[in-house]
Amino acid sequence: MSSRKTPRIRITGSHRVVLRFGRPTIATLQDILGPVRARISVLATALLVAAALPAASQAAPVENPCEGKEAKQLLCPNLRIGPASELYVEDNGPGRVLLRATSDVRSRGRGPMELVGKRNGWRTMRTNQRIYRVGGGQITVSSDATLRFTDVGAYWGGAYWKVHQLAQFNLRAVEPDGSLGAVVRTSPKLNYCLRDLERTQPSAVSPASRHYPGCNQNPYRSRVTLGTSVGWSDIYPAPYQQQWINVAGLSGCFSFEMTVDPKENLFESNERDNTSQRLVSLPFTGITTC
């Protein structure tokens, strides 16, 4: 699944791999994984060799660094998303019956999901993904994810730098045999923060306090960092801006499907656990079975 992705290990004008060796600012597994110096050298060498390859070789697909041989030396992130919850219907008049739901993007890897955005437009930034290494340091890989300065309305605090297409909500038909059918409706919502809102799975490798407290609201920033720490969740309540799918005119059994990173822009240790399903019977009366 990940073969379509090329991490595009970032190379500067002097053909230098951006492979940083500073101290990580987050909790790591270094205390329980033992010495890794020799293996880290192998990783660093592999990355430098990759950077030195001729152009034709660089164009070849490169495995997700979080699924390749060196993955064990990386504190790779893994995103999941909880099933749609706290569902209710908001009747907005003819043709607009909004089935609202709370979403819960969960950070469940060995390291945080972290993006560094750099401005490339009036209200956009390109991003690099930062992946921490076992024993300290980090690698930086170019990401197809972009940031958008997104206005969610005054009630929810105004505008924030958010990750475009971080998640997607679909409504799928459920066939008589219980199998999932075609997508019949889609939510307009595409942009989300990455942040530490709730520590939903505490553990020894999950920071006890927020490391990524919230998304930046300064439209003039040239650079921002977003992330979600291990064991933490970025949650949006059902009443929040665009947390809905329009179910007007539908009846029968459907699945409210949530997918995190639907465009596969972000490198994760598991790319196959990014979708959740919640059955709903429509017209909706609060029944989440069929």
CA quadruple 168, 174, 177, 182: dihedral, nearest 10? -70
Smaller CB separation from Ca ion, 150 or 274: 274
Smaller CB separation from Ca ion, 141 or 280: 141
CB of 110 to Ca ion, least distance (A): 12
Smaller CB separation from Ca ion, 39 or 164: 164
Smaller CB separation from Ca ion, 79 or 282: 79
CB of 104 to Ca ion, least distance (A): 14
- By beta carbon distance, the residue nearest Ca ion is 261
Instruction: Using CB under 5 A, list all residues that contact Ca ion.
Output: 78-79, 261, 264, 266, 268, 270-271, 273-274
CB of 79 to Ca ion, least distance (A): 5
The whole-angstrom separation of Cα 34 and Cα 48 is 24
CB of 163 to Ca ion, least distance (A): 12
